[in-house]
Amino acid sequence: MTGETVILAYSGGLDTSCILKWLLDQKYEVICVLADVGQKEDFVAAEKKALKIGAKKVIVSDVKRSFVEDYIWPAVQMGLVYEERYLLGTSLARPCISVALMEAARQCGAKYLAHGATGKGNDQVRFELCAYALQPDLKIIAPWRNEEFCRRFQGRQDLIAYAQEHGIEVSAKPATPWSTDANILHISYESGILEDPNTVAPSSLYELTVDPLTQAPSQPTRLTIEFRKGLPTSVKNLSNGQVFIQPLEILNFLNELGGSYGIGRIDIVENRYVGLKSRGVYETPGGNILFTAHQDLEVFALDREVLRTKQILRDRMTDYVYNGFWFSPEAIYVRKCIELAEEKVSGQVTVELAPGYCRAIARKAAENVGALYNEELVSMDVHGDYVPQDAGGFIAINAVRIREHVRAFGPYKIPKRSQ
């Protein structure tokens, strides 16, 4: 492979540093791309490290704004949540990072893309499906699926030995007994001691959120979050009147405030696309707040039957995104359909942040658009435009099928009551 250029999705960590060196050993020219999606990282140091190992070039690509506006905001709008709890922090970052990788590949004329994702995980699928979609002629190098590489590096110790042997700096900080993926939407923790799903995650694990019981403020904070067509457009802190409107600033603010309340922790076992069940712990403070507010507004704003269809579409979209199909015919199609539904989701929700949780406590429609909620219609005190007598016919006709079933097959078995 003498002279062929590889784009390496580089993190600065032990794995991708060793992969960098290993690629150089295979005679590739390696261009490292560090996508800044909001992880806490010393990008300057990482760049220096890669160059020292032998990277031909290091590209640090700040994609934070794109991540928020092109991936996280749409996910909030669509209401995506995997298996009812996971807000897709990693899944959403992958296509965003992939775009940065493709840009670098195009710019540098690279024919290869290498990544450090493992062979048992979802990320390999996500990176590679994006590559197939965006630049189908790019060839993939996945060292953790390479037999020779896997034989050589059977555990962390082999990586450390190799690093030391080749003068690659190894962090003095002892490794945590779990692995971490961080970005502006979340931090995820998995593997190591977390592999036993019955082991409670230690409180020292959490980085984005404080312990709600001991470190959170004793007073709640109320926020008013505005949405237009399902997208967050402003957040107002009702305690002090502060307002945020730029997406990245909104998310930064909500992460910080939500984190200070210990909001957004989950501990789950999830189903990976490759067929495994894995345990993950996640912190998503800002995302949790936005999801809570959007969910409330959506049920408030949408016609019931439109909502039902939207929910079916959302469930399909969630699997597409988790499984790595962000750039696919089906995801692009379903996303357009959901956006059509969201055209009616404009208004504001007041949420209350308290230690460990946030919840919606009030909502109203945007001023200049119509609203399906009808205070007069639902009122117990006025009829509004509703004739109660009609409900009798409604019920009777709905009962036709039930009564026919009784006629044909006998009465419903009344459960013998537990007494």
Q: Is 175 in the site for a second copy (CB under 8 A)?
A: no
CA–CA gap between residue 221 and residue 45 (Å, rounded) = 38
Figure out which of the listed residues 171, 199, 239, 242 binds a second copy, where binding follows CB under 8 A: 199
Q: Is 404 in the site for a second copy (CB under 8 A)?
A: yes
CA–CA gap between residue 62 and residue 113 (Å, rounded) = 19
Looking at 20-28, 42-50, 116-124, 226-234, which segment touches a second copy (CB under 8 A)? 116-124
Figure out which of the listed residues 44, 84, 151, 367 binds a second copy, where binding follows CB under 8 A: 84
Looking at 1-9, 19-27, 251-259, 334-342, which segment touches a second copy (CB under 8 A)? 334-342
Judge whether 70 and 44 are in contact, CB under 8 Å: no
Chain-centre distance for alpha carbon 129 = 17
Q: Is 70 in the site for a second copy (CB under 8 A)?
A: yes
Judge whether 264 and 255 are in contact, CB under 8 Å: no
Q: Containing H/E element for 33?
A: strand 29-36
Q: What is the CA radius of gyration of the chain?
A: 26
Q: Is 397 in the site for a second copy (CB under 8 A)?
A: yes
Q: Is 215 in the site for a second copy (CB under 8 A)?
A: no
Q: Which residues are catalytic?
A: 15, 94, 123, 179
State whether the Cα torsion 304-305-306-310 is positive or negative: positive
Q: Mask 3-42, x = binds a second copy (CB under 8 A)?
A: ----------------------------------------
Q: How far is CA 348 from CA 54, 94, 245, 270, 378, in A?
A: 52, 30, 13, 32, 21
Figure out which of the listed residues 40, 172, 198, 241 binds a second copy, where binding follows CB under 8 A: 198
Figure out which of the listed residues 31, 110, 355, 366 binds a second copy, where binding follows CB under 8 A: 355
Closer residue to a second copy (CB): 27 or 85: 85
Closer residue to a second copy (CB): 4 or 315: 315
Q: How far is CA 21 from CA 16, 17, 60, 115, 236, in A?
A: 9, 6, 19, 13, 49
Chain-centre distance for alpha carbon 20 = 28
Figure out which of the listed residues 109, 174, 241, 275 binds a second copy, where binding follows CB under 8 A: 275
Closer residue to a second copy (CB): 118 or 233: 118
SS3 250: helix
Q: Please, what is the minimum distance in Å from the beta carbon of residue 382 to a second copy?
A: 9
E-assigned strands of 201-343?
A: 221-228, 231-237, 243-244, 265-271, 277-283
CA-closest candidate to residue 195, choices 323, 281, 84: 281
Q: Containing H/E element for 321?
A: helix 304-323
Q: Is 186 in the site for a second copy (CB under 8 A)?
A: no
Q: Is 94 in the site for a second copy (CB under 8 A)?
A: no
Q: Is 300 in the site for a second copy (CB under 8 A)?
A: yes
Figure out which of the listed residues 91, 325, 345, 346 binds a second copy, where binding follows CB under 8 A: 325
Figure out which of the listed residues 118, 180, 237, 252 binds a second copy, where binding follows CB under 8 A: 118
CA–CA gap between residue 285 and residue 317 (Å, rounded) = 22
Figure out which of the listed residues 1, 51, 245, 377 binds a second copy, where binding follows CB under 8 A: 377
Q: Is 162 in the site for a second copy (CB under 8 A)?
A: no
Judge whether 234 and 350 are in contact, CB under 8 Å: no
Q: How many residues bind a second copy (CB under 8 A)?
A: 146
Edge to edge, what strands does the sheet with 112-114 contain? 57-62, 29-36, 5-9, 112-114, 139-141
Q: Is 201 in the site for a second copy (CB under 8 A)?
A: yes
Looking at 46-54, 163-171, 252-260, 313-321, which segment touches a second copy (CB under 8 A)? 313-321
Q: Is 108 in the site for a second copy (CB under 8 A)?
A: no
Q: Is 316 in the site for a second copy (CB under 8 A)?
A: yes
Q: Is 66 in the site for a second copy (CB under 8 A)?
A: yes
